[in-house]
A and B are shown apart, each in its own frame.
Chain A
Amino acid sequence: AQSVTQLDSHVSVSEGTPVLLRCNYSSSYSPSLFWYVQHPNKGLQLLLKYTSAATLVKGINGFEAEFKKSETSFHLTKPSAHMSDAAEYFCVVNGNQGGKLIFGQGTELSVKP
């Protein structure tokens, strides 16, 4: 079975400092992994995805994530936080070959001025 664990329910950073949101996954086969962002009262937006190509994946708005098979991790990073980055972030693994997504519990990112 596939599962995702987001290690922090809430992360707070100052504007201009680096962001690290941690995610570990479990999968019985080579997974596809995603990070989605959800702003208040908005729909989920795909930030980036890993589908067995390059292990360092670049996404929108300066975010990137590195797939580490040996550590079963897929942490999300950004060099410099912006106020507009404040939102809920979800690490996601594909649940099967048919497209079903398994979401983590989410990490709320706060950005202080």
Chain B
Amino acid sequence: EAGVAQSPRYKIIEKRQSVAFWCNPISGHATLYWYQQILGQGPKLLIQFQNNGVVDDSQLPKDRFSAERLKGVDSTLKIQPAKLEDSAVYLCASSLDRGRHYEQYFGPGTRLTVT
């Protein structure tokens, strides 16, 4: 079974530039998550999708971050414009369905450096 795929694996940009990350979840998984992991900290949920609808985006800085999951499969996370504090690893995860008993499977992450 193929895992969660993310690209790119690494990205370096200057502040005020824009960047986009892509995630392909495990086939058949209805729930998709984006987490931000700042160096030395645990991951923090940015946004959760159920199929192509947003379930939780309470921690997403909506003035600069946006995300979509068209057709309920792949998802993109965009930052525009980027700030220095956005330097982090962005993790995508998916689960079969929404709920506390469903295991989340994580992708390898995209490491973003903003200079």
- Listed in ascending order, the chain A residues whose CB lies under 8 Å from chain B are 4, 32, 36, 41-46, 49, 51, 90, 92, 94-101, 103-106
Q: How far is the CA of A99 from the CA of B103 in the complex (A)?
A: 9
Complex Cα gap A97–B102 (Å): 11
- Report the nearest B residue to A51, measured CB to CB: B101
Among B40-73, those with CB < 8 Å from A are: 40-45, 48, 55-56
Majority-rule SS of B interface residues? loop
Contact check: which of A43, A98, A100, A105 meets B108 at CB < 8 Å? A43
Name the one of B3, B95, B106, B107 contacting A99, with C-beta atoms under 8 angstroms: B95
B106 and A98 contact, CB distance less than 8 A: no
Minimum CB–CB distance from A57 to chain B (whole Å) comes to 14
Q: How far is the CB of A21 from chain B (nearest CB, A)?
A: 13
Contact of B44 among A49, A96, A103 (CB under 8 A): A103
Q: Is the CB of A97 within 8 A of B43?
A: no
Give me 21 A-to-B residue pairs in the complex whose CB atoms sit less than 8 angstroms apart, sorted by A's number. A41-B108, A43-B107, A43-B108, A43-B109, A44-B91, A46-B103, A46-B104, A49-B103, A90-B43, A92-B42, A95-B45, A98-B55, A98-B98, A99-B98, A100-B48, A101-B104, A104-B42, A105-B40, A105-B41, A106-B40, A106-B41
Task: Report yes or no: A94 in contact with B100, Cβ–Cβ below 8 A.
Answer: yes
A90 B107 Cβ-Cβ under 8 A: no
